Structure 1
Amino acid sequence: MPIDLEPLDPAPAGFGACAACVYRTTGTPALCFPCAVLGGAAPDGPTCTVCGQAVDERGSCSNTVCGLDDRYFSRLYTVSGRAEEMWSAVYRFKYGEERDLGEVLGRILVGFLEDNREELAGYDLITTGAIYVGPRAHRLWDYLQVIVEAARCDGPAWPFAPGLIAKSGPTGRFLGISPEERRRIAEGELRAALSVPEPARVAGRRILVFDDVYSEGFSLREMARVLLGAGAAEVAGLVLARRKGG
């Protein structure tokens, strides 16, 4: 499905330089996805069966959650191995003024789904990680829903269902804190704030939870926990990149 980028004239600017790319507003998933993953190196040697990153000589993953018996989610799918470039795009979209990068990220998401259709078509619903956007919110817009709505335009056949998980209030921010602090917030504030308003929509379903970045997996664990508690048959994660501290 992805387009061969070499013969394109003019050539794409290259992922990470989307602002200068002539295809930024006219591209397709078949173009933006290969641009975003081009040059992403696969891990050498054995990888974690949960998140797909390289494991150490003992076969252990550096992500604590991957080794937990009560992980709740089955596995993690990662769109791009170019973690730093993807994080830069996500950061500019979330915290900067480049809101139209949401369309680019949406196309990249659809490109990944199409490229892995044989496996991912088995999921019944693709929802978003819960983001609180009420009066006490850190930010007043749901950036994950913006990406998914853009993806829905380019991939209307995929079962996007944003907002299946609700968050009742703000919780501590994960950016720039230790894994131990992340776990404390996730198992405390975040767990207490999450709910599934319409359990009938998730009952018996296999669900992908879309988020921007996977760091240790504590947030995804709580999302999976609440969905399984509402009757979901399986929960897996889908992120744009894996990045420690993201």
Structure 2
Amino acid sequence: MPIDLDPLEPAPAGFDACASCAYRTTGTPAICFACAVAGDGAPDGPTCAVCGRAVEVGGACANTVCGFDDRWFSRLYTVSGDADEMWRAIYRFKYGEERDLAEVLGRILVGFLEDNRGELAGYDLITTGAIYVGPRAHRLWDYLQVIVEAARREGPGWPFAPGLIAKSGPTGRFLGISAQERRAIAEGELRAALSVPEPERVAGRRVLVFDDVYSEGFSLREMARALLGAGAVEVAGLVLARRKGG
């Protein structure tokens, strides 16, 4: 999957400049993924064994849930180490009018899967994090499913299965509140709202849950809990970026 971007003519515009890139509509996972992670390097020093975030020697991860004994998900995979740049693209896609960025983000997702095939091919299903899009929804479209559908077109060999986790209604928003408040929402109203409508599809399976951003881990924890309760044997997370407050 890795590709040398230097010989390409024209050269990719750079991940933060996707809007002006010649490959925005004609790219491949190899091109878009390589562009998105260009310059990403492994953190110096020790990292969290769960999410890969850099930690102080002998210190705990700043992501609260990584330290829980009842975390329920095994680990987190992150596509891009440049959280700020990735978040700008996600923000334009989710909150702006650049919905065709789903194609770029889908290619980036497939590129990451291919680049880590030796490890990620062991998962049986790749589903989406639960988003409520009913009449009381904060947002009326499932942006994660749109990305995964784009990824499925680019990587049909991967076991994409969006929508395995359902959310029955809106829940409190996590932006701008403390970790304790987030945990209360997650263990209360979010937990009550989540379900796995077809448990036979996940029973005995290893499941990757795709989301845009990993902030603290409380939402992924609850989705992993629901999937394990439905019979999954392992649940891990897969996100485009790690970002506090995302």
Q: Same fold (TM over 0.5)?
A: yes
Which TM-score bucket, shorter chain as reference?
over 0.9
Runs (4+) off by over 6 Å: none
- TM-score normalised by the chain length of structure 2: 0.98
In structure 2, what is the equivalent of residue 185 of structure 1? 185
Shift of 1:185: 1.0
> How far, CA to CA, are the matches of 1:204 and 1:229 in structure 2?
11
Q: Deviations over 1:74-100 (max 9, x none)?
A: 000000001000001001100111000
Alignment of 1:85-234 (within 5 A): 85-234=85-234
Q: Deviations over 1:132-160 (max 9, x none)?
A: 00000001100000000000000000000
> What code does the residue aligned with 1:184 have?
A
Shift of 1:178: 2.2
User: Does 101-110 or 34-43 show the bigger shift?
Assistant: 34-43
> What code does the residue aligned with 2:137 have?
A
> How far, CA to CA, are the matches of 2:54 and 2:88 in structure 1?
22
> How far, CA to CA, are the matches of 1:99 and 1:107 in structure 2?
14
Kept after mapping to 2: 8 A contact 1:46/1:59: no
Give structure 2 stretches of 5+ with no counterpart. none
Kept after mapping to 2: 8 A contact 1:3/1:34: yes
Q: How many positions carry a matched residue from both structures?
A: 246
* Cα RMSD after superposing both structures: 0.8
In structure 2, what is the equivalent of residue 2 of structure 1? 2
- TM-score normalised by the chain length of structure 1: 0.98
SS across alignment from 1:213: strand
Percent identity reads 86
SS across alignment from 1:227: helix
Give structure 1 stretches of 5+ with no counterpart. none
> How far, CA to CA, are the matches of 2:24 and 2:176 in structure 1?
30
